[in-house]
Each structure stands twice: as C-alpha cells, then as structure tokens.
Structure 1
Amino acid sequence: MTSTHSQALYTVAQVRALDRHAIEALGVPGYELMRRAAEAALAGLRRCWPQARRVAVFCGPGNNGGDGFLLALLAREAGLDAMAFALAEARGDGGDASRARAACEQGGVPLLHWEANGTLPAADVYVDALYGTGLDRPPQAAAAALIERINASGVPVLALDVPSGLNADTGHCPGAAVRADLTVTFIAAKRGLHTGQAAACTGRIELATLGLPDSLWQDSLPDASLLKAAGLPPRPRDAHKGRNGHVLAIGGDHGTAGAIRLCGEAALRGGAGLVSVATEPEHLVALNAARPELMAHAVNGPQALEPLLERASVLAVGPGLGQGAWGHALWLTALDTPLPLVLDADGLNLLAAEPRRFDAARQVVLTPHPGEAARLLGCSIDQIERDRFAAVRALARRFGAVAVLKGAGSLVADPDGRLDVCPWGNPGMASGGMGDLLTGLVAALLAQGCTARDAARLGVGLHARAGDHAARGGERGLLASDLLAPLRRLLNGLDA
C-alpha cells in the first residue's frame, strides 16, 4: 500500500462513515466515487498484469458490482477486450450501481447474466466485484459456486475493495471466499484484510484513497494500526551488560530443553545483557555445550528459584514448563514477584486454570496462539478466529496485560484497547519453537527498557520480519533457529 493513510486500519462502520462524509460534507457524488474506484482498480490491474488483454468482470447486485461495471467500461475504452457478468438481474432502483450497469451496457461492453452451470470465459484476468464490505454471512449458493470455480481456474484475480466472502471487519471467511492475487481497496484500509484467513484471500493489497482530501480523515481515529519496521537505536559507546537487563527464562521440564534454550538464545540475540535459565538438572550439560553464554541453573523448586529471581530484571515463563507439580510451583513463584513478565505456552495454560488479573503497574505480556487464547477466554478456537480483534482486546482487558494473539496477521492489544497488526510473517513459521523465540525476544526488549506495549509491538514485528528473511531459502523446512541471524541484523537496523 502506498497511501500516507495506509498504516491506519478502520472498521467497516468507520469506512462507511467516511464514505458518507465524502458525499454529504465534501460534495463528492457517490457515482463519482464509484468511477474513481474503477479507475484506481484498472490502474492496479494494468500495473500488475501489463500484458493482459482480456478481462472478465463478475459483478454482484450492490455498489461493489457497480465498481465492477464501471471498471469493465473503462477497460473497454482503454482498448481491452472486456466483458461483464451480472450475478443478479438489474434492480432498476436508479441507484449508483444501476446507473453504472446501464453505462456499461450503453458503452458496448458485452453484459451477460451468470448462469449457475455456465462456463467461465477465457480471460487473462478475472475481476471479483461480487460482494463488498457489507457481507458478514456465507455467500449465497450461486455466488459460492462461482467463487469456487474462479479459485480453481488458475486465472489471476483482482478483487475490488475486499475479496468476496471475506469479512472486512474480522478477517474471517464464513463460507467460500475469493483468493485474489491483488486487492485494490478504497478510501481507507479495512482492518479485516490484514489478519486471520485474509492472508489466503487478499494477495497484495493496494489502497486507493480516490483523490479525497486529507481533511476526510482528520476527525476519524483508526481502530488499529499496521506495525512499521523498526529496531532499537545504537547503544552508547560506554554501554556495559548491566545496563541491558537480566532475563531469567523459566521452563524446560523433562524432555523439553530445546524450548527453553530457544527462549534463552532469543533473549541473548535480542540484546539482553545477561540471560539465566532455570530448568531441570538433566538439561545443564546440553545447554552449556550448545550455548555457553546462557547461565543455566538446576532448579528443583521455588526455594532454588528465589536467588535467581533476586538477580533478574525480567522473567520469561512458559517454554517447556509443563503443567505438573514442578512447573506449577515455579509458575506461582514467578507470578508472585513484581518483575516484568512474559508468559507463553504452559505459563498461559496454567493462567487459564488459575486466572488472575495483573497489577496495572507491572509490565506483563501474554503471547497466546488461538488455542491458548480460547482456553484463557473459556471459548472455542473457532470463536477466537471469527473475530481476532475482539478476542485480543478481551484478553488484554481480562488479565490487565498486553496481549499478543499469534497467527497470520498477529495482533497486539493493551488493556486500553489500542491495537496493532503485524503485516509480516509467512506460513513457514508454522513450526515448533517459533513461540519460544518470541517469548525470549520480548523479554529482552523489556530488559532493555521498553514498556510492555512497545516490547510486544517491536518484538512481534522483528520476529515476523526475521521469519520473512529466513524464508528466502524456502518456507518448508524453516526452523525457529533460522531466525536468529536475521533477527540480530534487523534489531540493529541492518539489512538481513
């Protein structure tokens, strides 16, 4: 996205309000906005597929369909072989969509009514203009069948405003949804295009603000923001390890030394001055051999943990912790200290079993995946994924902590409702150990003086960007430890 407004994410209700304000207060007619949307979409099509000559546009009955009809007309006027397919009969209501359809027919564009058993036309690009932002239910049967055929065709797809079938508010697909290669979205960025199932539907996203003045957005605060790429500033030349915090990573029950090692190593690579590990005695030899910079300690219970807590400045609790007596005892001891805290994995599962709200003065970050979030909120994973925005805000409010809801388009929320969305990451990161890395990284950022919110935002962004750099060698087979080298470079503002 190229607009100066592209980092700001809005709800569907907010975008509709902006649209009304443009029409009623700024005096831009709705049909003119529709024409500008069609022009922007056609420009995106020609940039993305400059060799395309045949374009088939599939139009629904609403204003999204009107955008499509005008795109087909403009494409024909530009010398392309364009045709339009109407999913429904003309309403004849005299609205902007009806006017656009009439203009399309009068302009000589072949306009066909889509039949359920029809054959998809030969084309270089299909344009999805079936449903707009108002859809919050599964597409009707005829539209769903068409969507499935478009997806199976292998023809590149341009979606207008939002891929049909995707909820533009939540990123959830309740039924069939178009899988676009390019989505040109209009006026303002819709938050649902950037998380959850949207990752499989939108392709590249371009924002077209339709030539509207900046004053349109002045009185409309966005619901959320996309994270920006960032690192930490250079250290002062007289820096020493004592100024960069001491992370204590607690976990690694029997057989899970790898989880706590990844957490500790990420804390080191994240810039913490010192990193200690409290773990089972059996893991000491392996940890010392693999990463001697970690100060590994055998801890058999709370009494052995106490002196380590006295030296630490930040706690990372959960990787490999388990939910048995050993892990539970260490978890209770850690939660009863006032130190800044990152909770993950079994640290979260134990919190779900024994909920507590953290003191507002304590810097706490929770990093659940959807399954852990469901346990924390006492609901199903499907309920979490249906509205990830509501879920992460509920987590932050309930526990009085900054919450990170991991997944495609990870979300970061604080108890006040402020929310950020991560635009990076890839499917190769769906492998074991990635969450352990994030836990250690966020703890390291807390240790270096970041607030809980800033540590979570920066940590989530760096983690995802490191994953994208590591995936240049391929997504399948990507290991959590592959992120450590690019993570260090990105943290220091260097090209990875």
Structure 2
Amino acid sequence: MIASKTALYQASQIRSCELMATDELGLSEDELMARAGASAFSTLEILYPDVRSIAVFCGSGNNAGDGYVLARLAHEKGFSVVINQYKTVEHLPPAARHAALQTLAAGVLCQCLDDPIEPEIELIVDALLGIGLKGEVYGPLATAINQINEAELPVLALDVPSGLDADTGQVMGACVRATQTVTFIGYKLGLMTLDGADYCGDLICHNLELDKCVAAIEPAAYLIDNYLNQLLLPKRPKNSHKGLFGHVLIVGGGYGMPGSVLMAANAALRVGAGMVTIATRPEYASQSLPLLPEAMIYGIEEAAEMLPLINRATVCIIGPGLGEDEWAKMLFTTAMASQLPMVIDASALRLLADNQQHDDNWILTPHPGEAASLLNCTSAEIQQDRYQAIRRLQDVYGGNIVLKGAGSLVATDKSEIYLCNAGNPGMASAGMGDALSGVIAGLVAQGLLLADAAKLGVWLHAKAGDAAAAERGERGIVASDLMLYLQGLVNQRMYA
C-alpha cells in the first residue's frame, strides 16, 4: 500500500479551507466551531479518562468559541467546569458569541481571565489565541499564559498553543507549554519546527470532515514520515561487488579537524556505500588510516592530485573540517569544477557564499549560521522564519537544501519542502553535521536521486540519534554513537 504524504499548512491556507467549507459546502461557522469543540472534547475524554474538573481559558476570537463548545459539552457530561474569559460575550465574533451564549445558558461558571486556578482543577484547556495570534503577546493574555504554565497541571491546547506563531514556530513573547495540542483541519507549519515541538506536546489532528476542502489546497510542506517507505534502495543481488554501490569522495579535514572527514566516511559506509576515499591534509593522512581502515585516505597538496580521485568517485562531499585558508580554497575550486553530484557542508558553504553559484546537482546542508552566510543576513533572521529562509536558499542556489535545526527542513529541486520531526537535543554536538553529510552521500552513491537522498538521509540520521538517546540518554551523545544505529536503520527500510 502506498503511504500518503502528511501535509503541513500555513495559517492562511487553513482560513481558506474554512471559507471554502462555508461558501462551497454550505457549512456555517457555528457548525465548524461545534465540530472543533466536539472533537477536542472527545480527545480530552480519551486522553484523560479520570479527569472530572477542568478550567478553560478563552480568548476573544474563534479559538475561544472552540473552548466554549468544549466547556459546555464537558458540563453536560457532569464535569466541573470553570471558564476564565478574556472578553465578555458581547465582544466576541458572531460564531464564538453564539457558542458562549449556549455555554452560559447551560450554567457553566465564568470568571475573569486573571482569577486564580482553583485547587481542585485537574486539567487546563487553552483556547486563548490559536491561529489568531497577531504579534507579541503582552498584558492580560501574557499574564494568563504565565498562570497556566505555573499551575503545573496538564494542558490541552486547542489548534495551536497560545503564543506560538502557527507558521514559523516562533514564541511571540509568552507561550502556553501544552501537554497535548489538538489541531484542526490540518497540521500547521509552526507546530513542528523551531520552538513548536517544545510547546505543543503530543499532536493530534482532526480534519473536521473537511477532506474535500483540504484536498483542494496545495500543502506548504510535507512531513517526512511513513512516506519514506517509498524511497526505496535497490535490493542487492547476491552477485554483488563494491563497485555496484558507489564511491564517495570526502574532501576536508583541515588544521585541527581531522576527525570530521572520518565521521562522514564512517557514516557513508554504514548506510551502504561501496567505497569511500578521503582527501585531506598530508600530515593527517597517515594518522587517520588506523582509525578507519576501510577508507582510502590521500594527503593532498596540489589540485592535480585531486583529479584521479574525482574521476573514480560517484559523489563528492566537500566541507567537513575544510577551513577557509588557501589550501581549502584550492580544494573547493577543484571539487566544484567537477561534474560530480555534490554534498556541500560546513566551511565549504561559507566559501560558496563568497562565490555564489546556482546548480541543481548538489545538496547544501547549512545550519542557521551557515544559512545566514549564504543569504547575507543574521542567524536570528533565518530562525524567525525557517520556511521562508529555505525557500530563499533554494531560489538563490538551486538544487536541494537541508536547513538543519529543530524540525530540520529539506527543500528539493522539485520545489517541495519536507520537515523531519525526529531527532533530539542530544544531537546538538560536534560532528553530527559531518555524519549527516556522509549519510546523504552514501545514499546518493547507491543510486538515490539527490532529493530522495536528502529526505531519507535526514530521517535516518535523526532516527539514529533517537535510537542512541533511547538506549543511552540524550545528554552526552556523540556523532560516532550513531554509526551502528545507522546500519540497523538502513537495513530496516523496505526494498524494491
């Protein structure tokens, strides 16, 4: 069975879907709100079967309306319910006002937003802002968010944790730290990148029976998940030899960083590359050989020494530990002049920023600082909108881009964006990027298209990090810990 790709949407696309539901399907805003509130309450009952006392924090928009619906349904089921409301009924938009009036008529207790959370409350529902967030959160809403976070109670957020930008994953001043988030219609971009994962908790999506409307909208991005089962490595014939599985050339390992190329080489071999050659500084070549005897290692002084290595290679990684001195620039110029598919990382990205080129036969793998160099901006600007940043990188440089970080993004040469929500904070350590470049190049060597190698490589690398963390704990993971997990994961894939 072919797995469908999990779609991610911008907030504006979700609003378009809501308009389509009212204009083309004849659904009222009241009906949509009723569906959202009912689906959220159903989720609450499943997640918290023993909870009987809840506080619902309602803001001033339609997200509040969802909260009022949930509060009424809970009250009708015998829950003890109190609503902390930001605006009185007359200040709410029509659909939310209707939901609030029904809830008040049912006898649900409402109090001021800043009233204390009573000791008997077991669960908080966040219906303050949702995708209606506009700018920084301040004043009474910020105070309410802080009160929710300080209560040390489980929190169920409706649609988006209040204070989180639904498109970028950026915290806008203050943000509810949810235990779970029930999101409606479709997954929003910001739920899984930057700060999103820290604030959303577990994600549950209800499409509110709007399949037709959702299908009519082109997703802004896709999640890298079960869809990867279709990125098939060819099954190996019994009559195999190393030449069938590609030859990775790795160029780097400048002063002080000889281990970077070894990390990339080991990763390429562990995901199945047939051969690996390292081109590095002469003084490091003999020292490195005992550490990875499976690799061929050459000390390079002149550009001409690179040419036979390039001629034998299937794919080239340039950048791990390369540096930016004259030796590095010579290797960079020589490698870039080849016709090989390229995986460009680390200091080679900074050299590329100085010699801006556009090519479809490469994969760039910047972290936010390197992306900032490529776009002549700051890393803070990159992080403010990672989706916009990766689109700009792809427009300027072409090919395939991997923007590393929490919720790593992949932009393909087919103008699609993918998000990987695997991985963990333990992977924030030296050498992880070198390992990733090796994984990706090892997949290219075995015949995957560059875009597919980028997507599958990012996922394998992240899942290997998760496997290491599950067995050893997050703190203290190093890149070399991933190697055996990589081998196990690549052998779990489905094969053609």
TM bin (shorter chain) = over 0.9
Q: Aligned residue pairs: how many?
A: 486
Deviation at 1:454, TM superposition (A): 0.8
Name the CA distance, whole Å, in 2 between partners of 1:392 and 1:150. 34
Provide the secondary structure at the position in 2 that maps to 1:57: strand
Name the CA distance, whole Å, in 1 between partners of 2:313 and 2:92. 69
The 5-angstrom pairing of residues 323-472 of structure 1 reads 323-358=324-359, 360=360, 363-472=361-470
Provide the secondary structure at the position in 1 that maps to 2:133: coil
| Cα 1:485–1:389 shift into 2, 3 Å | same
Deviation at 1:120, TM superposition (A): 2.7
Provide the secondary structure at the position in 1 that maps to 2:56: strand
* Structure 1 alignment gaps of length 5 or more: none
CA contact (8 A) 2:182 2:206 kept: yes
Single out whichever of 445-454 and 119-128 deviates more from structure 2. Answer: 119-128
| Residues 1:133 and 2:131 aligned together | yes
Name the CA distance, whole Å, in 1 between partners of 2:198 and 2:4. 23
Deviation at 1:286, TM superposition (A): 3.6
| Residues 1:47 and 2:49 aligned together | no
- Aligned partner of 1:111 in structure 2 is 110
| Cα 1:6–1:161 shift into 2, 3 Å | farther
Give the residue type in structure 2 aligned to 1:398: V
- Aligned partner of 1:483 in structure 2 is 482
| Cα 1:295–1:136 shift into 2, 3 Å | farther
Deviations 1:159-201 (A, max 9, x none): 1000111111121223111111100000111112121111111
Deviations 1:95-124 (A, max 9, x none): 010111111111111111113xx4233321
| Cα 1:345–1:224 shift into 2, 3 Å | same
Provide the secondary structure at the position in 2 that maps to 1:21: helix
- Aligned partner of 1:36 in structure 2 is 35
Deviation at 1:233, TM superposition (A): 4.5
- Aligned partner of 2:117 in structure 1 is 120
Name the CA distance, whole Å, in 2 between partners of 1:50 and 1:261. 52
Provide the secondary structure at the position in 2 that maps to 1:133: helix
Name the CA distance, whole Å, in 1 between partners of 2:52 and 2:216. 42
Single out whichever of 131-140 and 384-393 deviates more from structure 2. Answer: 131-140
Name the CA distance, whole Å, in 1 between partners of 2:378 and 2:93. 45
| Cα 1:160–1:244 shift into 2, 3 Å | same
- Aligned partner of 2:213 in structure 1 is 216
- Aligned partner of 2:140 in structure 1 is 142
Name the CA distance, whole Å, in 2 between partners of 1:484 and 1:49. 40
Give the residue type in structure 2 aligned to 1:443: A
- Aligned partner of 2:76 in structure 1 is 77
| Cα 1:57–1:252 shift into 2, 3 Å | same
Name the CA distance, whole Å, in 1 between partners of 2:129 and 2:24. 26
Name the Cα RMSD after superposition. 1.7
CA contact (8 A) 2:390 2:411 kept: yes
Provide the secondary structure at the position in 1 that maps to 2:278: strand
Give the residue type in structure 2 aligned to 1:172: Q
Name the CA distance, whole Å, in 2 between partners of 1:6 and 1:267. 27
Deviation at 1:132, TM superposition (A): 1.7
Name the CA distance, whole Å, in 1 between partners of 2:4 and 2:56. 28
Name the CA distance, whole Å, in 2 between partners of 1:223 and 1:494. 27
Deviation at 1:218, TM superposition (A): 3.1
Deviation at 1:246, TM superposition (A): 0.6
Name the CA distance, whole Å, in 1 between partners of 2:250 and 2:58. 55
CA contact (8 A) 1:370 1:406 kept: yes
Give the residue type in structure 2 aligned to 1:125: L
| Cα 1:6–1:265 shift into 2, 3 Å | closer
CA contact (8 A) 1:42 1:75 kept: yes
Deviation at 1:94, TM superposition (A): 6.5
CA contact (8 A) 1:57 1:126 kept: yes
Name the CA distance, whole Å, in 2 between partners of 1:106 and 1:241. 75
CA contact (8 A) 1:8 1:224 kept: yes
Deviation at 1:388, TM superposition (A): 0.6
Name the CA distance, whole Å, in 2 between partners of 1:479 and 1:45. 39
CA contact (8 A) 2:56 2:127 kept: yes
* Structure 2 alignment gaps of length 5 or more: none
Task: Report the TM-score when normalising by structure 1.
Answer: 0.94
- Aligned partner of 1:97 in structure 2 is 96
Deviation at 1:56, TM superposition (A): 0.6
Deviation at 1:158, TM superposition (A): 0.7
Deviation at 1:73, TM superposition (A): 1.0
Single out whichever of 382-391 and 47-56 deviates more from structure 2. Answer: 47-56
Deviations 1:403-456 (A, max 9, x none): 111011111113453111112111111111110011011111111111111110
- Aligned partner of 1:314 in structure 2 is 315
CA contact (8 A) 1:5 1:188 kept: no
| Residues 1:16 and 2:1 aligned together | no
CA contact (8 A) 2:58 2:67 kept: yes
| Cα 1:94–1:322 shift into 2, 3 Å | closer
Single out whichever of 285-294 and 258-267 deviates more from structure 2. Answer: 285-294
Deviation at 1:487, TM superposition (A): 1.1
Deviation at 1:130, TM superposition (A): 0.4
Single out whichever of 187-196 and 39-48 deviates more from structure 2. Answer: 39-48
Deviation at 1:136, TM superposition (A): 3.6
Provide the secondary structure at the position in 2 that maps to 1:315: strand
| Cα 1:98–1:5 shift into 2, 3 Å | farther
2:170 to 169, 172, 180: 172
CA contact (8 A) 1:393 1:414 kept: no
- Aligned partner of 2:158 in structure 1 is 160
- Aligned partner of 2:26 in structure 1 is 27
Name the CA distance, whole Å, in 2 between partners of 1:318 and 1:94. 55
Name the CA distance, whole Å, in 2 between partners of 1:494 and 1:188. 28
Deviations 1:188-238 (A, max 9, x none): 1111212111111111111001233x3223322211110124363432222
